[in-house]
Amino acid sequence: MQFIYQIIELTNPQLNILQKLAKDKQVENKKYFDKLKKKTPKNLDYIMQDLHDAEFKKTDCLSCANCCKTTGPLFTSADIERISKHLRQKPQQFIDQYLRIDEDNDYVLQKLPCTFLDTDNACFIYDVRPKACREFPHTDRKKFQQITNITLKNIPVCPAVYNIVEEMKRKLPL
C-alpha cells in the first residue's frame, strides 16, 4: 500500500482540520488495521509503546483538551464511588447531577464539554478522574490490534492518535 504521511502540529487551526484529515485517511487506515489484525508483528506492544511515548513527549494536552470537549468518558461504578467521595456527594447525587445512561447502558456525561473541564483546559478532578480519561487515547494498550475500531473512532478526535497512526504506517509498513 502507498501512503502519504502527514504529521500535524497541535495548534488550533490544525485541530479545526483534524476531522477532514481523518476523513481523508479513513479508508486507508481501515485497510491498514485489517492487515494488522491478520499479520500482527510479535513485538507490536513494544512498537506501540515507543510510538505513544514519542508522540506524548511533544504533545501538550493542556493546549488541546479536544477529548474532554467533544467526547467525554464513560464512568464505571468505581469511578462514581471515587469521584463522588472526592466531591463529598452521595454516588446517587453525583449520578443525578452529572450523568445519564447511554444507548450501551453506560454512565456518560449529561453535557459536553465535560463539566469538570476548567477554562485553562485543566481537569477539576484530575487526581480522581475516570479510568477512561486516564487511559485515553489507548495507543499504548497491550494487544493494540484488538482495539483498532476504537482507534479509528479516536483519530478524528485526538491529534496525537492521528499522528501515532501516521507514524505507525511509516515505521511498520504491512
Q: Applying CB under 6 A, which residues contact ligand SF4?
A: 59, 61, 64-68, 72-73, 114, 116-117, 123, 125, 129-130, 133, 136-137, 157-160
- Minimum CB separation of residue 5 from ligand SF4 in Å reads 19
C-beta of residue 103 within 8 angstroms of C-beta of residue 111: no
Backbone torsions φ then ψ of 166, nearest 5 degrees: -60, -45
- The neighbour count for residue 152, using CB atoms within 10 Å, is 17
CA distances from 95 to 25, 41, 67, 82, 125 (A): 38, 43, 21, 12, 15
Q: CA angle, 62 as apex, 152 and 51 as ends, to 5°?
A: 45
Using the minimum distance from each CB to ligand SF4, give the nearer residue, 67 or 168. Answer: 67
Using the minimum distance from each CB to ligand SF4, give the nearer residue, 129 or 169. Answer: 129
Interatomic CA distance for residues 162 and 59, integer angstroms:
12
Count CA atoms closer than 13 A to 128's CA, side-chain side. 14
Handedness of CA 123, 20, 144, 166 (dihedral sign): negative
- Minimum CB separation of residue 42 from ligand SF4 in Å reads 28
Using the minimum distance from each CB to ligand SF4, give the nearer residue, 58 or 171. Answer: 58
- Minimum CB separation of residue 39 from ligand SF4 in Å reads 28
Using the minimum distance from each CB to ligand SF4, give the nearer residue, 65 or 168. Answer: 65
- Minimum CB separation of residue 58 from ligand SF4 in Å reads 11
Using the minimum distance from each CB to ligand SF4, give the nearer residue, 36 or 114. Answer: 114
- Minimum CB separation of residue 20 from ligand SF4 in Å reads 16
